[in-house]
Amino acid sequence: MFDGLRCFVVSKLTDVPKRILIGRALRSDRLGETLLPKRVALPVFASDPLSSVAYAPGEVLLVLSIAGVSAYHFSPWIAVAVVVLMFTVVASYRQNVHAYPSGGGDYEVATTNLGAKAGLTVASALLVDYVLTVAVSIASGIENLGSAVPFVVEHKTACAIGVIVLLTLMNLRGVKESGKLFAIPTYVFVTGVFLMIAWGAFRWLVLGDTMRAPTADFHIRAEHQGLAGFALVFLLLRAFSSGCAALTGVEAISNGVPAFRKPKSKNAATTLAMMGLLAVTMFCGIIVLALFTKVRMAENPAADLLKNGVPVGSGYVQDPVITQVAEAVFGSGSFLFLILAAATALVLFLAANTAYNGFPVLGSILAQDRYLPRQLHTRGDRLAFSNGIVLLAGAAGLLVWIYGADSTRLIQLYIVGVFVSFTLSQTGMVRHWNRHLAVEKDPAKRRHMVRSRAINAFGAFFTGLVLVVVLVTKFTHGAWVALLGMVIFYGTMTAIRRHYDGVAAELAAPDEPGDDMVRPSRVHSVVLISKIHRPTLRALAYAKLMRSDTLEALTVNVDPVETKALREEWERRGIEVPLKVLDSPYREITRPVIEYVKNLRKESPRDAVSVIIPEYVVGRWYEHFLHNQSALRLKGRLLFTPGIMVTSVPYQLRSSEAAKLRARRRQEWNAPGSVRRGPLTEAERAKEPEAGR
């Protein structure tokens, strides 16, 4: 009783700001209104791979700079390899969304075709990758914004956490509303990049202009000059693995198929193709323009970037590749340059939205399969998986705080998880087609399945190869942290599933009547009292109605004067229930009561003991700290005592009337449970008009 009242009061205190921040609650039967058309789904689910072109080219050049500027001529070939990989992954996932449209994505594919352990490995990898997506995207956005606003650079950790909070609030308002908010800057960014590529190509090929980046006159002090043989191959592989950051978030569409409008699979596959085409075009265009405008990047710019032979020093801020290219193409301070710079910073923040849509949906599916707490399966007031959104925000905020919002350090942890899921998912799809080909007789359908299997097989091979490259080249640079996170998620989810399975087995109704179904021989009722007042008299009256075999009142002698006064009033009133007084030389209340009821059970193990506790019902939050504390402690202890039943008898104080009125108004506004139960069934929806009439 007390716990429920406390939760009610706390909920009332937070209700008003909650409604202001995330809006009014939505009924479950309005879930269809939150589904996304393709034009909104693209920025919602593809903002991560689209925005990664803002930092993926820079990561390629940063790694190549280890061998000096001469290694930059390898960047177009690395871009080609990334493009081939992108098209392979997109083509593979188009098969996924058609075969598994339920929203389980890689987790469902791996579990169904490779087993529960493979599915759990994929889920662990994706959860880690989603957390890193938020951390990397926001840290990169802060750094882009910091080139124009010095305050952001000086307080980048606090600013990054603040952005995480804002994104969390936006997503708590619902998928569709957050999609509308994110669509405009995403489309402005994409349009701006294509304008930059087109105008740069026009100036270069038609006008013959010489466009130079701000760092074109800088030189790079190579850490390893003239690399050859295995060392060069290793460097190129590391640059390729860094460029593969452009693929992060591709899997989010396969996880988010249920959020699309019908036909869901077709719309999701079309969105995947649009995303892949846009991302690779932007990535390649920026790489080529960066080479032509002579962009210079260094992992340690303060010491390795030289201007007139002198290091630029710690005061130099190294702008991202896309910013330098935009300045060279549009001109420093031009309108288009400022628009693209602002859109780039904003879209990097919003890229985290891919994870905000993928993580909660995956968490909900895992919770339904009993691998995560069941609360993650519950939809919130705005029909979003609110608990998953908050969990993601907390994990990403912690990571940003630990790494100081440094995208260069965070990105070393990146993409390991996503390529684990890519590889296992595509391997699972190969087994999926093998299973269906074994029973399919229609030649046309078999040809389609064989073609799909070939696509998925090539995808499994290619992504598996990239996974090995990523692990080898990035392990010592931070990838081991991502692997550790995957192991922690895997172990935690395994333990949760073991707990739920154990509880289910323990609670399962037996086929044969057992002790739980045998009626107790007798029931002993004990009413706890401290003094004689209205709550006590109501509890005694209730206990008498139960018609127990024995009934007694129980008090603890903490203050002899008060106990004597209680005895005298008990006798004066002529209360027929016997009063039992327990001595407590150490002035304890809980322990004597617990020992007494335990002794009753020991004397008669087949009997049940009913402990009845009178409690006050108060309406103001601070009044809970002034009442019912002893009752709360007693109930907490009695819950762990077998054979003891605990009953609270409430007595409403005058202050509870105001809370009752507020609760009544709230029920009229939003029926309790209407959101939490999930979507209405057809039968329930059919009954609603009858109820209204």
CA distance 103 to 99: 11
Which pLDDT score, from 0 to 100, does residue 442 have? 86
Beta bridge partners of residue 548, listed in sequence order: none
Residue type, 389: I
Domains in the chain with CATH codes: 35-498 (1.20.1740.10), 521-653 (3.40.50)
Which pLDDT score, from 0 to 100, does residue 534 have? 86
Which pLDDT score, from 0 to 100, does residue 554 have? 92
CA distance 148 to 481: 32
Which residue is associated with the tokens 């995303």? 275
Which pLDDT score, from 0 to 100, does residue 9 have? 44
User: Which tokens sit at 420?
Assistant: 């684990």
3-class state of residue 562 by DSSP: helix
State whether the Cα torsion 479-480-485-487 is positive or negative. positive
Which pLDDT score, from 0 to 100, does residue 2 have? 41
Which pLDDT score, from 0 to 100, does residue 579 have? 92
Q: pTM for this structure?
A: 0.67
Phi, psi at 644, each rounded to 5°: -105, 125
Which segments of the chain have a pLDDT < 70?
1-36, 103-104, 144, 146-150, 153, 173-182, 223-230, 249, 255-256, 378-385, 408, 411-412, 506-520, 619-629, 656, 658-693
User: Cis (ω within 30 of 0) for the bond into 650?
Assistant: no
Which residue is associated with the tokens 């202890």? 637
CA distance 200 to 196: 6
Which pLDDT score, from 0 to 100, does residue 229 have? 65
3-class state of residue 550 by DSSP: strand
- Give the CB-side neighbour count of residue 643, counting CA atoms within 13 A: 22
Q: Are residues 323 and 341 in contact, defined by beta-carbon separation less than 8 angstroms?
A: yes
CA distance 394 to 334: 39
For residue 554, CA distances in Å to 376, 549, 561, 577 come to 43, 16, 17, 10
